Amino acid sequence: MSAAPILPGATLGVLGGGQLGRMFALAARRMGYRVAVLVPGDDSPTGQVADREISARYDDLEAVEELARSVEVVSFEFENVPSATVAAAARHAPLRPPGALLHASQNRLREKRALGGLGLPVAPHAAVETPDDLGAAARRVGFPAILKTAAWGYDGKGQRRVESEAGLEAAWRELGAGPSVLEAEVPFVAEISIVGARGLDGEVALYEPFLNHHAAHILDVTVVPAPVTAATRAEAEAIGRAVLEGFDVAGLLCVEMFLLEDGGLVVNEVAPRPHNSGHLTIDAHVTSQFEQQVRAVCGLPLGSVDRLGPAAAMANLLGDLWSPEGPPRWPAALADPAVRLHLYGKGEMRPGRKMGHLTVVAADAAEAERRVRNARSALVG
């Protein structure tokens, strides 16, 4: 995989207009690139900071080709890009990361099979496509288990915990009786993620593992350094490298993993894009995940993944923090001089919607987490 680097001054294309595209565009523009985005609607978080916003549906292939013809490379900020859209874009510009990784990550069963094919540890699982598959899946996987729709799942959507075969059938019908995957429930003690990039020359750069805390299946707080042994860190990095190299990635991705009591890891899923847990790299690392994405898709040397301080923590800001009485109490949160505020430019506030995040760099992980949680609590009094 080799090609001439795409130099500052060129225009980069993004499919998707959310906060990940916004932060990619900010990093790209700081480095001297122009950015064009295609997104349904207008005034998107990415469009607000891009040079050009094409308002069109992802299945509007003429608009997709218009975007691709006007840029030097196309990347994306969410997984569920239709295959026809990917093909249309790839006819006119390189697509990075590649379509094969995108295709695998769009379907949980394909993803599990692809990861298993790379020799990586995944939870025992079975496909459920028809009522006749339910009994066989139950016998193969056992209970308790997690039933997940094969496609269109994120932030805990499209899944149910089941404890019996009768409960499995009921959950499958609740989820639409469509293609699904039954996974054994993994007895994990923590969830970690590793963000990594791979350049056109095969160079790999991996951030150290991040510790992730969830609330209602949505990422709530991320902390670095994660409290893992050197052996676990090495295993996480080996997994990240295996995915990057196994899919011949030019770009950035995140691998989410379950940490077991004995220090072992089980891969949960792969996000072929920047990840919520990597947002703290903007303030806590020499090179943010978004600058790393720009460097990787443009064929530039990758940046340093070293931390700028001893520890850091990031707290998500969801739409629940806004109330009819007024916006969150920003001065109260920013009273701590270490707190950094990032808002995504979204106009509609609703419960569970990611509106922004706070980051704190501190002397140790416990202090960073305490201060970022306190700052978020101060937003609502």
Mean pLDDT of the 337-366 span: 96
Residue 329 has φ and ψ, to the nearest 5°, of -85, 80
Q: Does the residue 113 lie in any domain?
A: no
Residue 212 has φ and ψ, to the nearest 5°, of -120, 130
Q: Which helix (H) or strand (E) holds 271?
A: strand 265-271
Task: Mark whether 342 and 316 lie in a shared domain.
Answer: yes
Task: Mark whether 173 and 201 lie in a shared domain.
Answer: no
Residue 265 contacts residue 283 (beta carbons within 8 Å) = no
Q: pLDDT at residue 3 above 60?
A: yes
Task: Mark whether 137 and 271 lie in a shared domain.
Answer: no
pLDDT band at 298 (very low <50, low <70, confident <90, very high): very high
Task: Mark whether 254 and 343 lie in a shared domain.
Answer: yes
Task: Mark whether 207 and 319 lie in a shared domain.
Answer: yes
- Comparing 77-91, 142-156, 168-182, the range with the smallest average pLDDT is 142-156
Q: What is the pLDDT at residue 153?
A: 59
Q: pLDDT at residue 2 above 60?
A: no
pLDDT tens for residues 15-43? Answer: 999 999 999 999 999 999 999 999 998 89
Q: Does the residue 1 lie in any domain?
A: no
Q: What is the pLDDT at residue 325?
A: 80
What CA–CA distances, in Å, run from 328 to 156, 199, 210, 319, 323?
26, 40, 27, 10, 8
Task: Mark whether 329 and 196 lie in a shared domain.
Answer: yes
Residue 287 in tokens: 């090179």
Task: Mark whether 163 and 200 lie in a shared domain.
Answer: no
Q: Does the residue 281 lie in any domain?
A: yes
Mean pLDDT of the 182-195 span: 96
Q: What is the pLDDT at residue 154?
A: 60
Q: pLDDT at residue 266 above 70?
A: yes
195: which strand partners?
254
Mean pLDDT of the 89-105 span: 91
Q: pLDDT at residue 323 above 60?
A: yes
- Comparing 8-22, 37-51, 92-106, 253-267, the range with the smallest average pLDDT is 92-106
Q: Does the residue 58 lie in any domain?
A: yes
Task: Mark whether 46 and 193 lie in a shared domain.
Answer: no
Report which of 229, 212, 213 is spatially closest to residue 264, judged by C-alpha positions. 229
Q: Does the residue 105 lie in any domain?
A: no
Question: What's the CATH number where 75 sits?
Answer: 3.40.50.20
The overall average pLDDT reported for the chain is 95
Domain boundary residue, one of 184, 201, 218? 184
Residue 185 in tokens: 């429930």
When computed from its CA atoms, the radius of gyration of the chain, rounded to whole angstroms, is 21
Identity at 320, one-letter amino acid code? D
Q: What is the C-alpha separation between 26 and 45, in angstroms, rounded?
A: 11
Q: pLDDT at residue 80 above 90?
A: no
Report which of 236, 330, 224, 240 is spatially closest to residue 280, judged by C-alpha positions. 224
Question: What's the CATH number where 137 sits?
Answer: 3.30.1490.20
pLDDT band at 152 (very low <50, low <70, confident <90, very high): low
Q: What is the pLDDT at residue 345?
A: 97
CB burial of residue 102 (10 Å; 0-12, 13-18, 19+): buried
Q: Does the residue 73 lie in any domain?
A: yes
Task: Please count the structural domains in the chain.
Answer: 3
Task: Mark whether 245 and 180 lie in a shared domain.
Answer: no
Q: What is the C-alpha separation between 292 and 283, in angstroms, rounded?
A: 14
pLDDT tens for residues 189-206? Answer: 999 999 999 999 999 999
Question: What's the CATH number where 259 sits?
Answer: 3.30.470.20
Domain boundary residue, one of 169, 184, 199? 184
Q: Does the residue 193 lie in any domain?
A: yes
Q: What is the C-alpha separation between 171 and 173, in angstroms, rounded?
A: 5
pTM: 0.95
- The whole domain housing 158 covers 124-184
Task: Mark whether 320 and 208 lie in a shared domain.
Answer: yes
Q: pLDDT at residue 46 above 90?
A: yes
Longest dimension (CA), the chain: 60
Mean pLDDT of the 85-100 span: 92
Q: pLDDT at residue 375 above 80?
A: yes
Q: What is the pLDDT at residue 376?
A: 98
Task: Mark whether 170 and 229 lie in a shared domain.
Answer: no
Domain boundary residue, one of 154, 184, 214? 184
Q: What is the C-alpha separation between 357 and 210, in angstroms, rounded?
A: 16
Task: Mark whether 197 and 322 lie in a shared domain.
Answer: yes
Q: Does the residue 5 lie in any domain?
A: no
Report which of 22, 14, 17 is spatially closest to residue 279, judged by C-alpha positions. 22
